[in-house]
Amino acid sequence: MAKLDIINVPDPLLKTKSTPVDKVDDQVRKLLDDMLETMYAAPGIGLAAIQVAVAKRMIVLDTSTEEEENEPLFLINPEVTWESEERNTYSEGCLSVPEHYADVERPAAVRVQYLDYNGQMQEDLMEGLTATCVQHEIDHLNGVVFIDYLSRLKRNMIIKKVQKATKDSVIL
């Protein structure tokens, strides 16, 4: 496995709509493995392929707590097939918007249909943090980052700070 570079806002790639994966083959699985390693190293609980500059509809998640065993989820071509009327608000962050957080309201539960690591069709009910996380990652596949839900003023302020921090940091 290999750790990949994560791109940050305002990289225009993050506004790209990713295209579906045609076939779940070893090349796709290799990228999923690398994405998972990259996500764990960051550390984060979700990562979309576009965040490592690949415009394909693939995400990895793991919302297990530190005390639990890792529970990685690989979702290819995910689609929300149902969402609850009940809504939840979490303070969200994003590996492409380092060190900035904001409250985002989303459906509290969703059903998601997707192809798994072996290319099998699955449909799962997701709730709590996992529901928020999967919706945040599916947004990435549609070119949406959580700061897009904030006022333009707030968003631009965050983007400027991330840009400055990225410019000032020395990558060794």
Give whichever of 94 and 104 is closer to Ni ion, judged by the CB atom.
94
Q: Active site includes 68?
A: no
Closest CB to Ni ion: residue number: 94
- The structure tokens listed for 121 are 């069709």
Q: Does 158 bind Ni ion (CB under 5 A)?
A: no
d(Cα 64, Cα 70) in Å, to the nearest integer?
6
In one-letter notation, the amino acid at residue 170 is V
Give whichever of 94 and 141 is closer to Ni ion, judged by the CB atom.
94
Footprint on residues 86-145 left by Ni ion (CB under 5 A): 94
Region of 80 on the Ramachandran plot (φ > 0 left; ψ -120 to 50 alpha; else beta): beta
d(Cα 67, Cα 14) in Å, to the nearest integer?
33
Separate counts of helices (H) and strands (E) for the chain: 3, 7
CB of 129 to Ni ion, least distance (A): 14
CB of 23 to Ni ion, least distance (A): 26
Catalytic residues: 137
Q: Give the footprint of Ni ion on this chain (CB under 5 A).
A: 94
